[in-house]
Amino acid sequence: MRPKPIPLRDFLKYLHKKGLVGYGRKSGSHERFDYSEAERKLLRPVTVDHHYSEVPSLHIQTNLMTLGITYEQFLKELVEYGIVKQKGGKGKK
């Protein structure tokens, strides 16, 4: 399943809920995120471009690879963290 664009504010909320911290903007528009603890540092930072109102699907895909999680896990965590509501009528009577 190919990732769908999501609002920038929702993606930023997700990164903060995961424990990542923003380390300023690189070249004006790109903000870098990483864990603050040295033992949890990523091999490369997660990068977010603030010029977009929605995070493009390719950016989501590459950032999820950096975090080492699948798109399905990402969608599940968005609901668990209360960033988005679960869609569909599952569990309703």
Delimit the domains of the chain by residue range.
Answer: 6-80
Host H or E run for residue 52: none
Q: How far is CA 51 from the centre of its chain?
A: 16
- For 44-79, what is each residue's pLDDT tens digit? 999 999 989 999 999 999 999 999 999 999 999 999
| Whole-structure pTM value | 0.86
DSSP 39: G
pLDDT of residue 3: 87
Thinking of the domain 6-80, which architecture would CATH place it in? 2-Layer Sandwich (3.30)
In whole angstroms, what is the distance from residue 47 CA to residue 26 CA? 9
**Please, which pLDDT band fits residue 89 given cuts at 50, 70 and 90?**
low
Q: What angle do CA 43, 54, 3 make, to 5 degrees?
A: 65
In terms of Cα–Cα distance, which of 8, 11, 9 is closest to 71?
11
> For the chain, what is the mean pLDDT?
90
